[in-house]
Amino acid sequence: MNKNLKESIKRVKELQKKGLVYIPDDLEGTVEPNYQLLAAIIENMNIGMSRDDYNRMRNDEEMLIYELALSSFSEKDLISEQDIEFKEKIIKEYVDVSEPVLICDSYCFTLKFDLLQEIYEKALKQIKDGKFKNYIFCK
């Protein structure tokens, strides 16, 4: 077996042990994320910025998304470029960056709640199917 393939399989299995992904017992090679974890990441993101920062970047969506991704980490966090790219992907997919709301001299960006609801529905299905334990829903 190819060395890179072996290493990839090993890493995915480590992620499964940590409860981050689900790997079905088939040969298709599909990996399913833990949607409870994804929902928690989306909901806990800091998606706001000062009026001045927003006005400076509002015409450059890529820079705006990059700055929002950076601001979602605390100053104490040790982050990598992959961490930032991960947050950028989440922002692009689940945050409405086109129409922020101005509140007390800061712009707040809203979540795309229809997409977040889909994530929760997928999380409930994973729990029902026994893929992951219930961590975020009341019993």
* pLDDT of 2: 72
Q: What is the tally of structural domains in the chain? A: 2
Q: Are residues 94 and 28 in the same domain?
A: no
Question: Distances from the Cα of 120 to the Cαs of 12, 13, 36, 42, 125, in angstroms?
Answer: 23, 24, 7, 11, 9
The single-letter DSSP state of residue 103 is E
Residues 84-111, buried b or exposed e (16+ Cβ, 10 A)? eeebbebbeebbebeebeeeeeebebee
Q: Are residues 105 and 138 in the same domain?
A: yes
Query: pLDDT tens digits for the chain (139 residues)?
Result: 577 656 766 776 676 676 667 766 665 667 888 999 999 989 888 789 999 999 999 999 999 999 999 988 877 777 888 989 999 999 999 999 999 999 999 999 999 999 999 999 999 999 999 988 888 877 6
Structural domain that includes position 14? 1-33
Q: Are residues 14 and 39 in the same domain?
A: no
Q: Are residues 62 and 119 in the same domain?
A: yes
Q: Are residues 19 and 83 in the same domain?
A: no
Q: Are residues 71 and 120 in the same domain?
A: yes
Q: Are residues 103 and 133 in the same domain?
A: yes
Q: Are residues 119 and 132 in the same domain?
A: yes
**pTM reported for the whole predicted model:** 0.76
Residue 32 three-state SS = strand
Largest CA distance in the chain: 59
Q: Are residues 118 and 59 in the same domain?
A: yes
Neighbours of 51 (CB within 10 A): 14
Q: Are residues 41 and 89 in the same domain?
A: yes
Q: Are residues 80 and 28 in the same domain?
A: no
41 CB-near residues (< 8 Å, 6+ apart) = 90
* Angstrom distance (rounded) from CA 3 to CA 9: 10
Q: Are residues 112 and 66 in the same domain?
A: yes
